[in-house]
Amino acid sequence: MASRQVRLRSLAAVDIESAVAHYRSDAGDVIALEFVDALEQAIERIRRSPNIGSLRFAHEVGVPELRAWSVRRFPYLVFYVPSRDRTEVWRVLHHRRDIPASFVGAR
């Protein structure tokens, strides 16, 4: 499948802002920037190879094509749905969150 554009849903943008704010307050600006860099790398990888993520949570949250990809060196997962012409990032969540509960109302 050819690479395509990636679009962040509003909940994903809020998730990212929250994670960056957490890292800035708890670990400092350098770690927050490292998180942003790692997230950008994960999203670029998803853009180039949209079917790379795991379907592990798809059935559990009721979104058949929902895939998850890890953010390297950070305990976050990027949840996304690839389609023919683009990929939509639905959420960016800490791996210890209640993932199914985080998707209630996310559709």
Instruction: Please tell me the distance from the alpha carbon of residue 35 to that of residue 29, in angstroms, as a whole number.
Output: 10
What pLDDT shows up at residue 8?
97
Rg (CA), the chain: 13
Decide: pTM greater than 0.85: yes
DSSP 6-71: EEE-HHHHHHHHHHHHHHHHHT-HHHHHHHHHHHHHHHHHHHH-TT-SB-TTHHHHT-TT-EEEEP
Domains of the chain with CATH codes:
5-102 (3.30.2310.20)
Give the residues of the chain that fall short of pLDDT 50. Answer: 1
